[in-house]
Amino acid sequence: MVINSELLEEMIMNIVKYDPFRELRNIQDEMTRLFTGVAPSNREEMFSGAWNPTVDIFEGKDALVIEADLPGMNREDFELSIENNVITLSGERKFEKKTDGENYHRVERSYGSFTRSFTLPQNVTAEGAKAEFNDGVLRVSLPKREETKARKIEITGGGEKPKTIDTKSKAGSASA
């Protein structure tokens, strides 16, 4: 059987790694949040559930990128700040009752105030940071410091023509 290399490449790209412990980690996170959180002050807060936007943090060639899902929110509903090398996203997702005559049989979406803070690696700077909010996704791009970017070094000597090698900067990591 002959498999076209493009088809094989497409098949490989669609494979998603299974993580059997992901659900256990989610339960552990929920339990931690349950026991470390502050007790709700009123009945509406008690039934609204704890909500934190999901966040992806990844490092590109020239910047660290943070993407946060903020479905159903407007730009005025949240704030973003950087202080002492910590980036903080905070806001509130409000429950909006459509009409007084409707009876809800089930409310599964979570609402309420949230705060997410992440320590930034030393190789990024807040200078030149950019943030965009489109279709419920906040994307923050923090440029890397010039001294930590990868660059090429030319090697001379030995009677041969100059040789150029790539250097890679040590990748920093963000922690939650």
Enumerate domains of the chain plus CATH numbers.
Answer: 43-95+108-166 (2.60.40.790)
- What sign for the dihedral angle of Cα 44, 48, 49, 55? negative
User: pLDDT tens-digit profile of 95-129?
Assistant: 776 666 677 777 777 788 899 999 999 889 888 89
Phi/psi at 22 (5° precision): -60, -45
- The phi and psi torsions of 44 (rounded to 5 degrees) equal -65, -40
User: Per residue in 9-40, pLDDT tens?
Assistant: 555 555 556 777 878 888 888 888 777 655 54
Cα 151 from chain centre:
27
Per-residue pLDDT at 99: 64
How far apart CA 32 and CA 46 sit, in angstroms, is 17
- Residue 68 CB coordination number (10 Å): 24
Q: Give 70 or 50, the one with higher predicted confidence.
A: 70
Higher-pLDDT residue of 123, 156: 123
124 forms beta bridges with: 144
- Name the percent of the chain lying above pLDDT 90: 28
Section 78-91 average pLDDT: 92
Higher per-residue confidence, 167 vs 33: 33
Contact 73, 137 (CB under 8 A): no
